[in-house]
């Protein structure tokens, strides 16, 4: 079933709301969902671009909150016109919906050991957004699947956060976003990764990402900046919310000859 208003969204699937209900029982943000929600339209926004600088790939493209959020809001508006009287609420990043789980239920991919969704076409280089509605849409039953479990992501992770037993809060991406002073060990990890915002090491190591195509979304191809240098503008970038002090602190950790180059191979 092709839904109206979804022309600009590369791939989506339908997740029934019922399998999510128990997971949302203790979530305060669930109050932002439509009452009597019946379906979740889970949408994928691939962002992979070739080449690497000192920014994680998701941060090298224009801010996904604006790109994906704009497409989702447009789709929600058209769906409201097509289904009068029904609610369609779009979410980007700040969703109460457990996004990876919902995407797996919708048949869009498998759960990686690093906690990310791995899709057949785009690998794990996807942003996930949702439109939650009180309109019931047909949804096929998809068994939850996991990745082959080769362990490459675990071996590549410098903090041990990747993997089913890892502490996701200790992910190097989270370290790059911390305010204040970093520990010597944290600073060294940033130096060795060569990445001053985010971390792609577990994704780069994943064999299911080897043939990932470059994104075809125009919004992610208009202003790619693979590296950040002190003084560069923050507007329109995914890391702009954190402010200048954190990312410039990280940039100063890299040796001058490393700025804008790739980190060590994973």
What positions carry a catalytic annotation? Answer: 93
Q: How far is C-alpha 133 from the geometric centre of its chain's CA atoms?
A: 22
Contact 30, 91 (CB under 8 A): no
CA nearest to 129, candidates 79, 72, 86: 72
Query: What is the C-alpha separation between 56 and 262, in angstroms, rounded?
Result: 10
Helix (H) or strand (E) holding 15: strand 11-16
> 120: burial class by Cβ within 10 Å (0-12, 13-18, 19+)?
exposed
What single-letter DSSP state applies at residue 95? -
Copy the structure tokens of residue 145.
Answer: 């699947």
């Amino acid at each position: 079933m092709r839904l109206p208003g979804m022309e600009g969204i590369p791939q989506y699937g339908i997740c029934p709301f019922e399998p999510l209900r128990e997971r949302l029982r203790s979530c305060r943000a669930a109050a932002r969902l439509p009452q009597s929600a019946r379906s979740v339209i889970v949408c994928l926004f691939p962002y992979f671009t070739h080449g690497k600088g000192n920014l994680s790939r998701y941060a090298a493209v224009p801010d996904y909150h604006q790109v994906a959020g704009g497409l989702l809001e447009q789709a929600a508006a058209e769906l409201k016109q097509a289904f009068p009287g029904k609610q369609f609420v779009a979410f980007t990043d700040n969703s109460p919906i457990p996004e990876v789980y919902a995407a797996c239920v919708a048949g869009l991919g498998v759960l990686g050991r690093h906690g990310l969704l791995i899709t057949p076409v785009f690998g794990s280089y996807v942003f996930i957004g949702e439109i939650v509605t009180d309109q019931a849409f047909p949804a096929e039953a998809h068994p939850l699947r996991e990745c082959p479990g080769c362990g490459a992501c675990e071996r590549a992770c410098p903090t041990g956060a990747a993997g089913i037993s890892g502490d996701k809060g200790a992910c190097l991406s989270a370290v790059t976003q911390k305010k204040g002073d970093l520990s010597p060990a944290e600073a060294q990890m940033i130096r060795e990764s060569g990445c001053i915002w985010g971390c792609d090491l577990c994704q780069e190591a994943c064999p299911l990402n080897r043939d990932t195509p470059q994104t075809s979304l125009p919004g992610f191809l208009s202003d790619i900046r693979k590296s950040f240098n002190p003084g560069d503008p923050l507007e329109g970038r995914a890391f702009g919310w954190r402010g200048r002090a954190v990312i410039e602190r990280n940039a100063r950790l890299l040796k001058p000859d490393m700025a804008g180059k790739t980190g060590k191979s994973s």
